[in-house]
Structure 1
Amino acid sequence: MRETATLDLTVAGRSVPTPCDRIGGGPDVLLLPALSTIASRAEMRGLADQLSWDHRCLIPDWPGFGAHPRARLPLNPATFHAYLDALLAAAPGPYALGVAAGHAAGYLVAAARRHPKAFARLVLVAPTWRGPLPTVMGPERRGLFTAIRRSVETPGLGDALYALNIRPKVIGRMMRAHVYGDAAHVTDALIAEKTAITRQRGARFGTAAFVTGGLDPVPTREAFLALFGDGLPPIRVLRPSRAPRRSGAEMDALVASGRVEGRPVPGALSPHEEYPAETAEAIRAA
């Protein structure tokens, strides 16, 4: 089975029509895509195909992200927690498995704690908690990040600034640098597909929030590790072999905490998209 439907959710007092794909049949699985300039539910479809022969996969788009015009609403952690609550009320499962990529990891873990019967098991694919600018420049520049976000959100000026960063050459360079592990996999067709995502109406707001750290679910590594522990279902972390150094160090710290099980996978920050078969194998492994 393969179908696309729209869930009519209410988040932060606003209507948020949420496109979702359903793929396969069997016990339910929730697949949450990453948050990024080029994020959409399409990045999870290859993995869903691999899991679909014995599971029914639900793939939603996050508010403010996806290959469609975006509704404008407050883009902050409180909204994203509320979004998952609304999603789990509309599609409660229970889920045999919850899978989250990148920044979705912290939100899924927090939702699993708020909804203790919703998930039997969690898998976090290349989990991150810190946006690109805080990762590269450090948290002490937070005032600068806020100014950048406001500039990108400003009509006129924001459109111009955003346009400079969504040119195909820039997107291709970004994908080869840290999204895909093998630069040969970043084809012209893939770049065109990702560029189309960035050009949806309202896309700059989600990008500005994510890049500047406005969607970081926690402020520190210690707070991220504190999300894990007693009262959660079993959690497996898939650690890509070519993850960027700083992001990889955070994944290693999580695995070293002993609160999760770590498994290696190929790729960089998007192994679920670049290597869906290997990612599914790591999910299924005993």
Structure 2
Amino acid sequence: MDVSHDQAKILDLTVAGHRVATPCAEIGEGAPALLLPALSSISAREEMLPLARELGQTYRCLVPDWPGFGAHPRARLPLNPANLHAFLDALLAAAPGPYALGVAAGHAAPYLVAAAQRHPGAFARLVLVAPTWRGPLPTAMGPERAAWFGRIRRAVEMPLIGEALYRINISPPIIGRMMRAHVYAEAAHVTPAVIAAKHRITRQSRGRFGTAAFVTGGLDPAASRADFLALFGDRLPPVQVLRPEGAPRRSGAEMDALIGTGRVASAPVPGALSAHEEFPRDIAAAIRAA
């Protein structure tokens, strides 16, 4: 069986009164699995496809784009945590599974966990790859500068000047620097072709809105570490955290705090914040070994 080819389909969802046409890849055969890409300036379902192909001998993987992200024109949906939760509710209504496996990377992880709480029985197990809950600016600058985050978001969302600010800050050199700093663990993997592909994602219509929301913490699903850890209650299926060895210090500390609760199983994996994309074979092996 050839699992290298993915078939795309569109789920026509309604989220908060907005039509959200959601492209999804379908890869593999076997038990249903839902794979959620990370939320980031360069987020797209394509980042999950190498892992889906690795899992495709065992699982039939559904890989959607998040609203406001992806390598296609973006939906006109206000981007906030409530609407992302509502998006997953609509997705699970349209494609209910039940899923033998749910995988989420980065900021998608707490959204998947919250969805599993709201939909008991929808997932037999969850795997969280490099889970995060706090956006880049809140992580780097701390809560004492929170007043600036909203101002920065509003500036990037403005017509004309916002697009100019966005283009300056999402140029190929900056994307390459960001990926080498904390997205990939191996600088040699950040090739010109990879940078070009990521840059194409950022150039999609309305691309600046998802970036502005994510970077400034506008999509953070929790207000504190305590709130994040409180998501992991008794009603969840088994949860496995794959902790990349090269995760940035602050993000890694949040992963370690979650692992330290004893509420999740864990395994070390190579990589940084995009381990699922950089080392898909290792991630798939860790998933199968659990």
Distance 2:88 2:181 in 1: 31
Residues 124-180 of structure 1, C-alpha deviations (whole Å, 9 max, x = no match): 000000000000000121110000000000001101100111110000000000000
**1:6 to 2:14 alignment:** no
**1:237 to 2:241 alignment:** yes
Residues 119-130 of structure 1 correspond to what in structure 2 (within 5 A)? 119-130=123-134
**1:219 to 2:223 alignment:** yes
Residue 276 of structure 1 aligns to which amino acid in structure 2? P
Query: Where does residue 103 of structure 2 map in the other structure?
Result: 99
Residues 110-125 of structure 1 correspond to what in structure 2 (within 5 A)? 110-125=114-129
Distance 1:263 1:37 in 2: 27
SS of the residue 1:28 aligns to:
strand
Residues 44-193 of structure 1 correspond to what in structure 2 (within 5 A)? 44-193=48-197
Alignment RMSD (CA, Å): 0.6
Residue 164 of structure 2 aligns to which amino acid in structure 1? A
Residues 210-256 of structure 1, C-alpha deviations (whole Å, 9 max, x = no match): 00000000010000000002010000000000000000000000000
Distance 1:71 1:8 in 2: 11
Give % identity.
71
Residue 241 of structure 1 aligns to which amino acid in structure 2? E
SS of the residue 1:9 aligns to:
strand
SS of the residue 1:95 aligns to:
coil
Residue 106 of structure 2 aligns to which amino acid in structure 1? G
Instruction: Quote how far apart the aligned CAs of 1:54 are.
Output: 1.5
SS of the residue 1:7 aligns to:
strand
Distance 1:276 1:57 in 2: 14
Query: Where does residue 228 of structure 1 map in the other structure?
Result: 232
Query: Where does residue 208 of structure 2 map in the other structure?
Result: 204
Distance 2:218 2:48 in 1: 24
Stretches of structure 2 that go unaligned for 5 or more consecutive residues are none
TM-score for both structures, normalised by structure 2: 0.98
Residue 15 of structure 1 aligns to which amino acid in structure 2? R
SS of the residue 1:4 aligns to:
strand
Distance 1:126 1:243 in 2: 8
Query: Where does residue 38 of structure 2 map in the other structure?
Result: 34
Name which of 253, 260, 266 aligns with 1:256.
260
Residue 60 of structure 2 aligns to which amino acid in structure 1? R
Distance 1:213 1:255 in 2: 23
**Structure 1 stretches of 4+ moved >6 Å:** none
Stretches of structure 1 that go unaligned for 5 or more consecutive residues are none
Residues 19-45 of structure 1, C-alpha deviations (whole Å, 9 max, x = no match): 000001110000000000000000000
Query: Where does residue 270 of structure 2 map in the other structure?
Result: 266
Residue 232 of structure 2 aligns to which amino acid in structure 1? F
Residue 142 of structure 2 aligns to which amino acid in structure 1? G
